[in-house]
Amino acid sequence: QVQLVESGGGLVQPGGSLRLSCAASGATLSLAAMGWYRQAPGKEREFVASIKWSGGIIDYADSVKGRFTISREYAKNTVYLQMNSLKPEDTAVYYCAGRYYSDPTYALWGQGTQVTVSS
């Protein structure tokens, strides 16, 4: 009932910035939280950041603290991931995920957007 669509990925130089967007549609009031995950080839999918759909309660992976910022624009049903000081190791497919109030897991996933940090 809720659909997530990521956008904003691309190629960026090390030290550069990129902003990812996750647009949610449908019964968005059923969402408890949104999160960003990433997966590099041959690697396990890892948590990046999360935010309550209503705002507040923000968590970040240690690897991105101080560099990435998750935020939401409620009026647009959109969650953002501002990525600064990007490193080559940030290269991955980034996925937007949603958690419903009725489910403690992130059961809702977008299709992913590729982020490549390289010279």
pLDDT at 53: 84
pLDDT band at 39 (very low <50, low <70, confident <90, very high): very high
For 74-88, write each residue's pLDDT tens digit: 889 999 999 999 999
Torsion of CA 68, 72, 78, 81, to 10 degrees: 0
Residue among 7, 9, 26, 20 nearest 77 (CA): 26
Q: Is the pLDDT of residue 31 over 80?
A: yes
Of the candidates 64, 106, 55, the one whose C-alpha atom is nearest the C-alpha of residue 82 is: 64
Q: What residues contact residue 54 under an 8 Å CB cut-off, 6+ apart?
A: none
Alpha-helical segments (H) within the chain = none
